[in-house]
Structure formats: structure tokens, C-alpha cells
Structure 1
Amino acid sequence: MFENFKSGFIGMIGAPNVGKSTLLNQMLGEKVSITSSKPQTTRNRILGVVHREKAQLVMLDTPGIHSAKSPLNKHMVDVAMQCMGDVDLIMFVVDASKPDPNSERLALKGLAKQKMPVILVLNKIDLIKKETLLPLIAKLEPLADFKAIVPVSAETGEQVEELIAILEEQLPQGPPFFPEDSLTDMPERFVAAEMIREKVFRMTSQEIPYSVAVTLDSFTEQEKPPMVKISAVIHVERDSQKGIIIGKQGAMLKKIGTSARQEIERMVGVKVFLKLFVRVEKNWSTDTKAMRRLGYE
């Protein structure tokens, strides 16, 4: 049945904010990975499955590789580095509009230890003048033994199908790992918590997003009438941050809740009742026990 079928795991590696999550969502045609304009939005390994007639591409979106100092940031870089050893193919993503030589050097150092093929993806070509692309390729090409170099725009979808075809060529032969209707291996409650965190990232500024974690106290599916009831906690590190998240007369929390609820409803396909609480968990991002409790193993 699966004669001449290809399948494999593909690690998406790169500096923070190069657009890996947006690219994953574009490849899937659905949203499974949260995005924002702020770096380090992705904190865990996010799996997405791209289905083609003769191939299945299991994409692993990872946190951005950077020079990490805090326990939370070190956790994120560890997640990305570990992913490199568990895949058949690596997609090294660079922001063509704003290359980050230091983070790219760190990623390339990790890549040098691996033996699997690497595809260089130059993302955000919609933000640059086309004449700057060739000099950038000439600069990056000698840095590693890339099997291919593919310029794309995750935002507009330009060249994304071409990228998928090139990735497919590099995959080993084998049966699919997931059923045809699978998009991800993540439970809905994990995705729901991530969608709430995304809204905090998008709607607050300064240090607030980086001090936030989201956990779900309950995720209950009701049959009649069809509804999902969710109780979630937004964890912050200081009382002042709690005040900002709640906002004047609860306005910010309501805004976050409404936007998250609408997105979760699109995912689950039924009405959602979402109740949000804000809790201070002092300095959780520097406390490894607290990090584990909040889902960062």
C-alpha cells in the first residue's frame, strides 16, 4: 500500500523570531503553533504533520537558538538542540530581512555535529529587495553543506510548495507515522493554553510576555448543548504584572479572554466558555521546580 512512499521527521531550527512557527502553519494550512512579533514565543517542541500523496512530513517547530542565561531560556535552547538528534532532515531557517549572525553561529555549531541533510530556508523574502537575495545566499552558502537553499515567505506562502517538494525529495522511504487526518500530536488542552499565551504576547508589551505561563485547571467537553468549558490560569512573576494583565476594571483580561476564546472555538468547532484567572508565582522562570510545575520539563 505504501510502496514508494516517503516519510520522516524534519527539525525546524533557527534564531528567535525568524518565522519558523508562521512557516509551519503555512505548510499545514492550519494553525497549530502560536506566533507573535516578539522573539522566543515558542517554548516547547511543536509537531505538525504535512500530508502529501506520496509522502508524510512530520515537522518539528522548535524554540529559537540564542545565547541563553536564564533557566527558562536554557530550557528552550535545550529543546531545540535535542530535536536535532531525533530527525531525518533539518530545515535551517534564517530571516532574510534581518539576519542574526550570533544566533546563526550557535545554530550552525549544533548542526556541525549532526550527519543528517540540511536545507537552508531564507524566510521573509516579502520584506526585502530581490537584488539583496543573491549576496545573502553567497554569504551563507559556504557555512555548511546545504542540500538546497530555498527563499520563501511564510507570511504570503511564496515558494512554500516548492520548499515542501524539496523536503519530500530528501526524506527516506517508509510508511506514514500518523493517520491521514492528523495535524499534530498535541492534545487540544495544550493548544488551548498556548492560544491564551499567544494573546498575552500580542496584547502586552515590555517584559510582561516573557514572565507569563499558562496552565489549564480544567478542560471539559459537554454534549448537550455542545460546548467546551475551560478554566485557565495566567501565571506572572510580580503583582505589578498581574495588574497589567487584568487592566483597568478587568478590561485587558477580558480582551485576552475574548480573543483566545474565538480562536479556541475555531479549533474545537463548538462554543467555548473560557474563564481566566491571574496568579502571581514569584520568579517562576528562574525556579526549575516552578518551571516543571508550569509545564517546562
Structure 2
Amino acid sequence: MTVETQVNSIENDIYAFSGAVTIPQAPPDFRSGFIGIIGRPNVGKSTLMNQLVGQKIAITSPVAQTTRNRLRGILTTPTAQLIFVDTPGIHKPHHQLGEVLVKNAKIAIESVDVVLFVVDASVNCGSGDKYIADLVTRSQTPVVLGLNKIDEQAASSRDAIDASYTQLAEEYNWQTVKFSAKNSDGLPQLQDLLISQLAPGPYYYPPDLVTDQPERFIMGELIREQILLLTREEVPHSVAVAIDKVEETPAITRVLATINVERDSQKGILIGKGGIMLKSIGSAAREQIQKLIAGKVYLELFVKVQPKWRQSRTRLAELGYRVEE
């Protein structure tokens, strides 16, 4: 993607998201740019982005490979605007969906100004981390190595774990920063380091915007998050949520959504005996959506079987999963 194409894309996103807007002129010495958050599945990338922008825009789950779409989170300070690009965890794909997700993560590496390579610092550097390290060094993009989950480090193994990542960073001459996305320890230092890596630039988005994604997209993600949390390994990644209709009135917002699964057995699990599971998912998701829109929500969920949708390029496209340009 060229710079001109990327800027045009951003302008289109802003118009689609919030209508015609006026973006102020940046002050002198203002810095801005795109930061790709890269790493293995379940290292805390989405939690980190939510903490940095100060609002929940990306879903989190103990289940790996939660993130599917490339999601932009925007942090604007008096001196800089950082646009974080949350990417799917890089892993060995096992189906067409996995291939699309990993390919999009690799594209993100080439289209950002800085790569924030996030690792799980509660365990030693592993082969998956080394694979990603080799991947990011093939581009000319500057890299910062972020050691997340320092709050989970055991005192007895801390020195050995840190040494394994120090060796990795020294091999590629990367700067490192330790932090906990969960409790925000070290995040100010991370933010300062990232800003120092950015070049002088303009506001790409209005200063009060925290994401370029429309509310409908985030609503679907919040529903999917509750499915992951409540069903865990029973229906982990065979789920795609489509928002069919959003009707807004001064008193309440009505949301109709379809949960797509691959098998009848998964449909049965999601509905549950007497519909209890679907009610639990709907109740929890409704609470999250109400926080998002700051108003009352009526949420109605349907479950539909779409056999092998993760293996079909057509179905993937219909559900919003495409290889990004």
C-alpha cells in the first residue's frame, strides 16, 4: 500500500465512521504514525491496545487467536497521535480462515511505521517468537520488543526469562520495554518509546476518536467475545457473528444478530438446554454493548449453521474476512 493510498483510505474511513469532520492542524513538533502490534496468539495484544487507548474496542479471551480483523485503535496525546493496528496472532494456519488471518498480519508488518512485537514474558522465548522475529526483520520497519505479562513472572525464573528475550533483542538490535497490559505497569514508558520512534506528522484522525471501526462491527465482536468466554473450547473458532439490523430510538437501540456456526452440534451448544446458553450470551453481550453506546439495548440473537464456512473463500468474504490490500 502506498502512502497516498493509505491516506485516502484513512480519509474514507473517517467519512464513513463519523460523517464529514474537521481535523485540526497539528502543533509544531507533533509526531504521528501507525504501530503494528504483532505476536503469537494470546500474548495480550488486544488487552494492550484497549489499555493504551483507554477504552474497550478489541475483544479479549483466554482462548487463543481471538483477534480476526485488523483493528485500529487511536491514542492522541498533546504531542502525538499513535494509530495501533491490532493483528491476529501469527500461527501455523489449519484452514482457509487461518491463512487469511496470518496473511493479513504479515501485510500489516509492511504497512506500518513501527512494529511492536509483543511476547509473553511469563515464559521463555520460544520457537514461535523466533519465527516471528525472523519474519519482521525481513521488512525495513523499525521494531520494538515488548515484554508483556511481567506481573505473571515467577521470581525464581525471572532472570532466565528476561535473558532469553535480551538475547533475541541484541541479535536484531531492538529496543525493549517491559510492561503488564493487565495492570498498566510500564505502559507510560512503552508509550514514550513508541512516540520517539515516530516521525513528525499530522493528525490522521480527529483527536477524540479511539477507533476507525463502526459501532456495528464492535457490537459483533462483543457478542463473539461472550461466546468465547462462555463456551471456551466447545465452540472456539467456528463462530462468526453478523449484525443484521440496528434500529435506534431515543429510548432504546434494537440489535438483531446472527451467530454462524459450522455444525448442528455447535448450534445445540450455543442454544443450550431450554435456550439457557443463548440467553446467557445475550445478557452478557447486551451489558457490554450498552457500555459501548451509553444507552439501553434490546439484543436478539439467532443461530445459523453454515457448514465449513472457514474453508470457503466466498463465505469468508460474506462474513467480512478478506485478505487486506
TM-score range, shorter chain: over 0.9
Say which SS state the counterpart of residue 237 (structure 2) adopts.
helix
1:284 aligns with 2:309: yes
1:171 aligns with 2:198: yes
CA contact (8 A) 2:75 2:210 kept: yes
Q: Which letter does structure 2 place at the counterpart of 1:74?
A: E
Query: 1:146 deviation in Å?
Result: 4.3
Residue matched to 2:121: 96
CA contact (8 A) 2:96 2:311 kept: yes
TM-score (norm 2): 0.88
1:208 to 235, 248, 269: 235
Q: Which letter does structure 2 place at the counterpart of 1:137?
A: D
* Higher relative strand content: 1
Q: Note closer, same or farther for the CA distance 1:284–1:26 as it changes in structure 2 (3 Å cut).
A: same
| Deviations 1:232-276, CA, capped at 9 Å, x for gaps | 000010101100000010000000001001100101011111110
Say which SS state the counterpart of residue 57 (structure 2) adopts.
coil
Instruction: Quote the Cα distance in structure 2 between the aligned partners of 1:217 and 1:162.
Output: 42
Paired residue total: 295
Q: Which letter does structure 2 place at the counterpart of 1:244?
A: I
Identify which range, 139-148 or 200-209, moves more after superposition.
139-148
Query: 1:219 deviation in Å?
Result: 1.4
Residue matched to 2:183: 156
For residues 147-296 of structure 1, the aligned pairs below 5 Å read 147-223=174-250, 225=251, 227-296=252-321
Structure 1: state its 5+ residue gaps: none
| Deviations 1:19-51, CA, capped at 9 Å, x for gaps | 000011111111000000010000111110111
Query: 1:101 deviation in Å?
Result: 2.0
Q: Which letter does structure 1 place at the counterpart of 2:204?
A: F
Query: 1:296 deviation in Å?
Result: 0.8
Identify which range, 269-278 or 214-223, moves more after superposition.
214-223
Instruction: Quote the Cα distance in structure 1 between the aligned partners of 2:165 and 2:270.
Output: 42
Residue matched to 2:8: none
Task: Give the aligned CA root-mean-square deviation in angstroms.
Answer: 1.4
Q: Note closer, same or farther for the CA distance 1:35–1:146 as it changes in structure 2 (3 Å cut).
A: farther
Q: Note closer, same or farther for the CA distance 1:99–1:44 as it changes in structure 2 (3 Å cut).
A: farther
Query: 1:99 deviation in Å?
Result: 4.6
Query: 1:55 deviation in Å?
Result: 0.5
Q: Note closer, same or farther for the CA distance 1:96–1:274 as it changes in structure 2 (3 Å cut).
A: same
Say which SS state the counterpart of residue 209 (structure 1) adopts.
coil
Instruction: Quote the Cα distance in structure 2 between the aligned partners of 1:17 and 1:61.
Output: 12
| Deviations 1:169-205, CA, capped at 9 Å, x for gaps | 1111011111111000000000000000000000003
1:62 aligns with 2:87: yes
CA contact (8 A) 1:65 1:106 kept: no
Q: Which letter does structure 1 place at the counterpart of 2:143?
A: V
Residue matched to 2:23: none
CA contact (8 A) 1:117 1:146 kept: no
State the percentage of identical aligned residues: 42
Q: Which letter does structure 1 place at the counterpart of 2:202?
A: P
Structure 2: state its 5+ residue gaps: 1-25
Query: 1:100 deviation in Å?
Result: 6.2
Query: 1:113 deviation in Å?
Result: 1.1
CA contact (8 A) 1:45 1:63 kept: yes
Query: 1:131 deviation in Å?
Result: 5.6
Instruction: Quote the Cα distance in structure 1 between the aligned partners of 2:188 and 2:48.
Output: 11
For residues 128-139 of structure 1, the aligned pairs below 5 Å read 128-130=153-155, 132-139=157-164
1:46 to 55, 68, 71: 71
Q: Which letter does structure 2 place at the counterpart of 1:171?
A: L
Q: Which letter does structure 2 place at the counterpart of 1:161?
A: P
Q: Which letter does structure 2 place at the counterpart of 1:233?
A: T
